[in-house]
Amino acid sequence: MKHMAIRENHLYQKAYKNGKRFVGRYTAVYVLRDYAAPRLKKEHPQKLFVNRLGLSVSKKIGGAVERNRAKRIIRAAYDTLCHDLKTGFLIVISARGAIEGRTSTEVARELNTAFTQLGLLVPQRTASPSQKEEHTL
């Protein structure tokens, strides 16, 4: 599934300046409540709140090939976690120098920690078998 991207520079700047931040070994994650979320919900085909994702990879990482690889790895790591996240946020993920040569699994582990500390993960409820049957009826 394609993610809704942050395209405007002022939204990146707001996330950097006002958002909650987690800095790890491979990435820095900035999260800010998206005030345009109600408008975007009306425009969404299924009328759902969505997160907008922005990726930032500087030239310090390397040439175009290395930067694109870093973005692919971050997107793959985000894809594994996006279904467990609260919605209606601007999420900016910035790659750090240590991301070179890492796998999406390693980055996903770090993003899981980041989203947990930032309070963005939806708590997983463990339901008993009788409760599961109740919801399927």
Tell me the per-residue pLDDT of 51-107, one tens digit each, with 9 for 90 and over: 999 999 999 999 999 999 999 999 999 999 988 899 999 999 999 999 999 999 999
Domain limits for position 30: 4-136
Residue 76's nearest CA partner among 109, 50, 49, 124 is 109
For the chain, the domain total comes to 1
Q: What is the CATH number of the domain that holds 123?
A: 3.30.230.10
Question: Phi and psi at residue 125, in whole multiples of 5°?
Answer: -95, 135
What's the predicted TM-score (pTM) here?
0.85
Q: Mean pLDDT lowest for which of 92-96, 108-112, 117-121?
A: 117-121
